[in-house]
Chains A and B, each alone.
Chain A
Amino acid sequence: MFRLQHSPRTDWQKRADDYGFKFHTMYGQPYWDESAYYQFTLKQIEEDIEAPTEELHQMCLHAVDTVCKSEYWLEKFKIPHTFWDAVNQDWQANSPSLYSRLDLVYDGQSSAKLLENNADTPTSLYETGFWQWLWLEDNVKNGSLPKHADQFNSLQEKLVNRFAEISGFYQVAYMHFACCKNTDEDRGTVQYLQDCAAEAGLDTYFTFIEDIGLSDDNYFTDHLNQEISTVFKLYPWEFMQREDFAEPLLQASTHWIEPLWKSVVSNKALLPLLWKLFPNHPNLLPAFFEDEVNKADGQKLVKKPFFSREGANISIIEGHQTITAIDGPYGEEGYVYQAFSALPRFADNHTIVGSWLVNDKAAGISIREDTHMITQDLSRYLPHIILG
């Protein structure tokens, strides 16, 4: 695993315009950065990332099964009581999942360690599945990267196939897609999924989360009053379970993607549970609930809220001292503690590997860099290749 300097394509911004990549620069800071790339060997990809990713996913599913069968764990995961039956039923019904992203600490040598599982609303999908793919194609075409350079990235292909499977599962010919207002990034992610679904032969309709309505016969509707029968929502389950439509949600027959059972996987309580179910697994870091943090023996810990996105409200503590902290709006439901594992550094950057799954198949990686030791939403995105 190396970080190599590389000349950006001279026309990359025009390419971004052509393909509708609107959030490559945010708040005047580059988000997409092709002035360098990461290089992996095929062995690193297949043995250190791909195989552990699929194994970790299976472990997470085992954890979901454990939680769904136990009131103790449902309580511990802060799933609202009214949703206990529904979550369990959704899990027993095998409601199909689309995708997720495992964030890994990986330095090219030691076992990759799971930091967290973004199983409900992962983003940086377009950049991964399409944009870095195009970067490699362009660079091979213009001769600045060797012809046999490859990339761990079958994300788009797998997403298209998965949409075809899901439309077969629910017997639907059209699908709704939804995200919140006023965010180019989320809209871009959802548009990308619409493109993938259309490629799979589905008609797609978009509506904003805030515009979703409820009909008098208990169907969710879009802004045009069309029934929403199947919908991909880029909006967290833990929010939906606590909002005004939470109760109708339990009555309505809408199929949700991601499915309701993903609210167990995207929950940070998953981390200490995994450590209990699979102690000392080479791809796990020790993790603890608040009431058992004494088991950590004073080691350096990362304190994470049950529900949080993109590094918000995460702090690093040693003994009783907070070393570094990111503030944010999360944390009211409580925290979990995970053993600190430093991100590897490449040219002064802290680098994190996002490993994607489509359903249960490893589908590619995304690389993010940050100058801060906790990677956040403004971390830069860099492409990667496989060579040798």
Chain B
Amino acid sequence: MTQKRSASINLHRMRKQFTPRPLALGVASLFLAACSDNREDVIIYKTLEDCTDDNPNRVQACTLAYEEALEEARKTGPKYANMQTCEYDFGPRQCEYVDNNGGSFFMPLMAGYMLGNLLSPNRYYSQPLFTSYSPYSPYRYRYIMADGYDIGDLSKKRTKVKPGAFKPKPEIKKTMSRGGFGSTVRAKSSWGSSSRKSGWGG
């Protein structure tokens, strides 16, 4: 007889609360080892020359990877309406004016780019990295990805990142207006039946 219910469910993902309990050291380190296994090795370069110096016979791959990272940085990197707020987050002289089809912005300079799989003959991956020199930023002297994922401190050259770190990130846009959805729910909620939950599913 075939089973009519889901064969298995990843309970670890479904769990939302982690009750603190004394962990035997052996168990803890096993867990960490299991985690680090599927993380990906990456190399971080600050400039195109850093890459070509390291890989003199891979100049073309280095150049393409660098250009891709620059392009990606323009699309997915943090964007600001003025220089002051950008410099507040990233530090003095760390921002530039960018004008592309998505609009004009102030953006932090790309601090470097990370490469995965560079030495494979098939496919390398690249992602732009940013850093902050601002005393007001939690990312000061740290490499971060466009989505805020913290790679480690600026001195790092080789490190490991979470699986999926090279997946494409959503592009940052200039938002002109907001709040164009949701007016019906406001109108119908104020109608005010006492027993109703506020959900709009059915």
Determine the chain A residues whose CB is within 8 A of the CB of B119 once the complex forms: none
Take A45-B4, A130-B14, A201-B164 as given contacts and tell me if A186 and B182 are in contact as well, using a CB distance cutoff of 8 Å: no
Distance of A211 Cα from B195 Cα, bound (Å) = 27
**Max count, chain B CB within 10 A of own CB: residue among A150, A205, A226, A308:** A226
CB distance from B100 to the nearest CB of A (A): 10
Take A205-B170, A243-B184, A378-B197 as given contacts and tell me if A364 and B16 are in contact as well, using a CB distance cutoff of 8 Å: no
Q: Is A150 within 8 A of B201, CB to CB?
A: no
Q: Is B9 within 8 A of A240, CB to CB?
A: no
Q: Is B193 an interface residue (CB 8 A)?
A: yes
User: Contact check: which of B10, B177, B200 meets A183 at CB < 8 Å?
Assistant: B200
Distance of A198 Cα from B195 Cα, bound (Å) = 34
Q: Is B121 an interface residue (CB 8 A)?
A: no
Count chain B residues whose beta carbon lies closer than 8 angstroms to a beta carbon of A: 50
Q: Is A154 within 8 A of B4, CB to CB?
A: yes
Q: Is A325 an interface residue (CB 8 A)?
A: no
Q: Is B122 an interface residue (CB 8 A)?
A: no
Chain A: number of interface residues, binned into ranges: 35 or more
Q: Is A213 an interface residue (CB 8 A)?
A: yes
Q: Is B142 an interface residue (CB 8 A)?
A: no
CB distance from B80 to the nearest CB of A (A): 10
Q: Is B33 an interface residue (CB 8 A)?
A: no
CB distance from B149 to the nearest CB of A (A): 10
Q: Is B3 within 8 A of A227, CB to CB?
A: no
Q: Is B168 an interface residue (CB 8 A)?
A: yes
Q: Is A62 an interface residue (CB 8 A)?
A: no
CB distance from B19 to the nearest CB of A (A): 7
CB distance from B166 to the nearest CB of A (A): 9
- Within 210-269 of A, Cβ neighbours of B (below 8 Å) are at 210-217, 219, 221-222, 224-229, 234-236, 239-240, 242-245, 248
User: Contact check: which of A20, A157, A173, A364 meets B7 at CB < 8 Å?
Assistant: A157
> When each residue 187-219 of chain A gets 1 if its CB lies under 8 Å from chain B and 0 otherwise, what string results?
001000001001101010100111111111101
User: Contact check: which of A195, A214, A229, A235 meets B185 at CB < 8 Å?
Assistant: A235
Residue on B with the closest CB to A23?
B197
Q: Is A296 an interface residue (CB 8 A)?
A: no
Q: Is B123 an interface residue (CB 8 A)?
A: no
CB distance from A330 to the nearest CB of B (A): 8
Q: Is B185 within 8 A of A386, CB to CB?
A: no
Distance of A186 Cα from B182 Cα, bound (Å) = 14
Q: Is B167 an interface residue (CB 8 A)?
A: yes
Take A20-B17, A209-B182, A210-B181 as given contacts and tell me if A227 and B170 are in contact as well, using a CB distance cutoff of 8 Å: yes
| Majority-rule SS of B interface residues | loop
Determine the chain A residues whose CB is within 8 A of the CB of B170 once the complex forms: 174, 176, 205, 222, 226-229
Q: Is A156 an interface residue (CB 8 A)?
A: yes
User: Contact check: which of A123, A228, A378 meets B202 at CB < 8 Å?
Assistant: A123
User: Contact check: which of A152, A156, A199, A215 meets B176 at CB < 8 Å?
Assistant: A215
Distance of A151 Cα from B172 Cα, bound (Å) = 44
> When each residue 110-129 of chain B gets 1 if its CB lies under 8 Å from chain A and 0 otherwise, what string results?
00000000000000000000
Determine the chain A residues whose CB is within 8 A of the CB of B168 once the complex forms: 173-174
Q: Is A32 an interface residue (CB 8 A)?
A: no
Residue on B with the closest CB to A326?
B193
Q: Is A18 within 8 A of B17, CB to CB?
A: yes
User: Contact check: which of B4, B17, B164, B174 meets A386 at CB < 8 Å?
Assistant: B4
Determine the chain B residues whose CB is within 8 A of the CB of A216 once the complex forms: 103, 173-174, 176
28 A-B interface contacts by CB (under 8 A):
A18-B15, A20-B15, A23-B197, A27-B195, A42-B1, A133-B6, A150-B5, A154-B5, A157-B7, A173-B164, A179-B200, A180-B182, A180-B185, A180-B198, A186-B200, A195-B14, A199-B10, A210-B181, A211-B178, A213-B175, A213-B177, A219-B171, A239-B184, A244-B180, A308-B202, A327-B193, A329-B193, A330-B188
New contact pairs (14) apart from A183-B200, A216-B176, CB-CB < 8 Å: A121-B202, A156-B9, A157-B9, A174-B170, A182-B198, A203-B164, A209-B185, A225-B175, A227-B172, A235-B200, A245-B181, A329-B193, A330-B188, A376-B195
Q: What are the nearest 3 A-B pairs in CB distance? A: A20-B16, A123-B201, A245-B180
